[in-house]
Structure 1
Amino acid sequence: MNKKKRSWKKGILGGIAIFLIAILVLLFFGVYFPNISFVGEIGTIVMSLFSLHLVILSVILGILAILMIRLKMRRLALVSGITAIVCTIGFAIPIAQMLQIANENDAKISWTKQLFSAPDMGGPDLSKSMKYATVDGNDLYMDISVPKNTTAKRTPIVLIHGGGFVAGTRNQSPSWTQFYVDRGYVVFDVDYRLAKDGYTTWDKAAPDVASAIVWIGQHADKYQVDMEQLLIAGGSAGGSLALQVGYGLN
């Protein structure tokens, strides 16, 4: 009976350990070798959303390695232990870098929100949507969020969504939009043309964003924004477009 129970424990522990090793190694390579097709995309996305969770999973794998040593599963325990150490350190490094930047800028970090908050995924808010251009038969929109109870000219910020130039939409990260609105910015969440089969947009997306900025300038008085203070920001593909447009404007 004891042998059966011991064998059952080994099977459960071994299965969980192998599963964690496969997931953590895949994501580790994705984070540190982002040029690897698919693996790099998955690793960077998961790391950006669940960095603390990955550290915790790595620590759990280390605990499993200790339990497997007690059950004389030495080979798997060795592999699990090495993987746990490497991944814990590897996933903790970006977190440490973010903490350093946060401390330098007096930014507060909520570990509770990091652990238990759902990914910030939104979509177009039609009550705030305005069409800013029609190109190649595509209507392009932006969602405009204006802070309340302000009369002076405000700083406009253009937010550009990510999605690898093939996916995503305006107002993709509503918590970021609200973050800026709460601090007095007028936020313009913009769409741009996305690539699809037979239709590339590597040379079209940045001009779309530039067109949105022209539209904002034409309506600056309506939204009480100071175009001299214009900010452009984005994540992933949106960050790339922000740089392209920013350098182009300069």
Structure 2
Amino acid sequence: MTTTARPRRGRVSGAVAAVGLVVAGAAALVVLLVALGALVPGLGSLSGYATLVVPASGPTLVVVGLVAVLLAVALRRRLRRAGTVVAVGAGVATAALVVVVVLVVAAVLGAGGAVNPVTAVAPGTGFAAPDGDPVYGTGPDGAPLHAAVWNPRGATGPAPVLVYVHGGGWVGGSELGSADDLRAFADHGRLVVSVGYTLSSPGRPTWDVAGPEVACALTKVAALAPGLGGDPTRIVLAGDSAGGQLAVSVAYHAASGTQTSSCGGVVPVPRGVLVQYPAVDLVDGYEHGYDPGHPGSSAAYLLRWYLGGTPQQVPDRYRALSGVPAITPHAPPTLVLGPTRDELVPPGGVARFVATARAAGVDATLVRVPYANHAYDTLGTGSLGNQASLSIREHWLTEHGW
């Protein structure tokens, strides 16, 4: 009498083990490519995407890499040689990415920021609706200009005021952008006002419109702040990217008494300027900036829309709205957050602006965020990049009593 041997229960078949190793290997390859693109500049699109992925999902990918290692080790019992190769490869890739993430966290801590690793592994999304969205003026075409307001929470007296100018390449975005961050600033006891402005379009540059509109909003906020619980003597002007250019230009020209307002009056000088990846060297941006999310798409077309021409055609406009020509010793204290691998706003121009401001006597600080690209903080609330940006800015504001 013969009997048929049955496979032992719990034993993984060769086919299942092979599929598991393919999954682990694919995950390890993704982790490796991200780490390689971050650690080795100049790898084209790989480097560009890696420096977007690390701030958005770096800690998440570290966990993915660790899971790949554990899975490969477990499957070595069935496919020993292949399992060993995948386990070692996944381990090397994960270790490389850990180095990148640790260096980012170290830079954040060194700048006074903080990172919650659990939140960074599982960032979220959301929209913190403003408490109000009033109209503060009208554009040249009669369109209303809105200013979103987040009321201060926990303030025991007149609250510091943060006026924020949104980015979007002067052609997009709105006062409702970065809502979660602005709500967070308000939750720390500030009156936060985000201002819209007239956007550029083909054939309608707004280089002579957007700045005066931001100045008008600043004037209106200073007048209305007491009624909203804010302190008009403690206004900080903030902005990102194109909004950073506008914030620097308006604040610095207000400090020298040369900033005009679309609604008239004297433009108040902010107590501080808080900007991220600001387009403060417009010629450098025209010649060297491009969008990492759309390879081959340069920043030049945005600047042509905004300024109405090339640096050769309208050089006076490029000079008038760049950061360095606006510097005077009277400019407000300024914090600039600059990702080291920014491809849209070249880091060199940002560094030259800060160095020139410091040489002129301005209290200007540049915080470099490593392995990060343009808009590194916008790809997930609570992501590594978002926590870095928010916590460093919060530290600077608190340190100055704003």
Compute the TM-score of the two structures, normalised by the length of structure 2: 0.48
Q: Which residue of structure 1 lines up, in the alignment, with residue 26 of structure 2?
A: 18
CA distance in 1, matches of 2:240, 2:61: 21
Equivalents in 2 of 1:33, 1:202: separation in Å?
Answer: 34
Structure 2 Cα separation of the partners of residues 68 and 119 of structure 1: 36
Post-superposition shift, 1:49? Answer: 3.9
Superposed CA offset, 1:148-170 (max 9, x none): 69785432111234455555433
Residue 109 of structure 2 is matched in structure 1 by: 99
**Residue 60 (1) aligns with residue 60 (2):** no
Counterpart AA for 2:133: S
Q: Which residue, 121, 124, 143 being the options, matches 1:118?
A: 124
CA–CA separation in structure 2 for the residues paired with 1:48 and 1:203: 35
Alpha-carbon offset, residue 210 of structure 1: 3.1
- One-letter amino acid of the structure 2 residue matched with residue 60 of structure 1: V
Structure-to-structure mapping, 1:1-250, within 5 angstroms: 5-22=13-30, 25-26=33-34, 29=37, 33=41, 40=48, 43-64=50-71, 66-67=73-74, 71=79, 72-73=81-82, 76-102=86-112, 110-122=116-128, 125=130, 128-137=132-141, 138-147=143-152, 152-163=157-168, 167-194=172-199, 206-223=211-228, 225-235=230-240, 238-239=243-244, 241-249=246-254, 250=331
Structure 2: runs of 5+ lacking an equivalent: 1-6, 255-330, 332-402
* CA–CA distance in structure 2, aligned partners of residues 136 and 202 of structure 1: 13
The one-letter amino acid paired with 1:58 is G
Q: Alignment partner of 2:37: what SS?
A: helix
Q: Give the letter for the 1:190 counterpart.
A: V
| DSSP 3-state at the match of 2:134 | strand
Amino acid in the other structure paired with 2:65: S
Report the number of matched residues.
243
Q: Tell whether the 8 Å contact from 1:49 to 1:119 is kept in structure 2 after alignment.
A: no
Q: 1:113 to 1:215 in 2, by over 3 A?
A: same
Larger RCO, structures 1/2 (Cα 8 Å, 6+ apart): 2
> Separation in 2 of the partners of 1:212 and 1:122?
22
Partners of 1:237 and 1:29 lie apart in 2 by 27
Q: Which structure's residues are more often helix, by fraction? A: 1
The CA deviation at 1:187 is 0.9
Distance 2:164 2:201 in 1: 22
Contact in 1 for aligned 2:24/2:72 (Cα 8 Å)? no
Residue aligned with 1:230, SS: strand
Q: Normalising by structure 1, what TM-score?
A: 0.70
After TM superposition, the structure 1 stretch with the greater mean CA deviation from structure 2, 58-67 or 7-16, is 58-67
CA contact (8 A) 1:158 1:189 kept: yes
Classify the secondary structure of the residue corresponding to 1:170. Answer: coil
Cα distance in structure 2, aligned partners of 1:204 and 1:30:
39
Residues 161, 237 of structure 1: 8 Å contact kept: yes
Alpha-carbon distance in structure 2 between the residues aligned to 1:24 and 1:8: 24
| Counterpart-to-counterpart distance in 1, 2:231 and 2:42 | 38
Using the alignment, how far apart are the partners of 2:140 and 2:21 within structure 1?
Answer: 57
| Distance in 2 (alpha carbons) for counterparts of 1:143 and 1:218 | 16
The 3 A distance-change label for structure 1 pair 128 and 11 is same
**How far off is 1:45 after superposition?**
4.8
Deviations 1:185-210 (A, max 9, x none): 21102223456667666776555433
User: One-letter code of the match for 1:169?
Assistant: S
* Same amino acid, percent of matched pairs: 23
| Equivalent position SS for 2:174 | coil
Instruction: Give the structure with higher Rg (CA).
Output: 2
CA deviation after TM superposition for structure 1 residue 247, in Å: 3.5
Q: State the AA in 2 paired with 1:180.
A: F
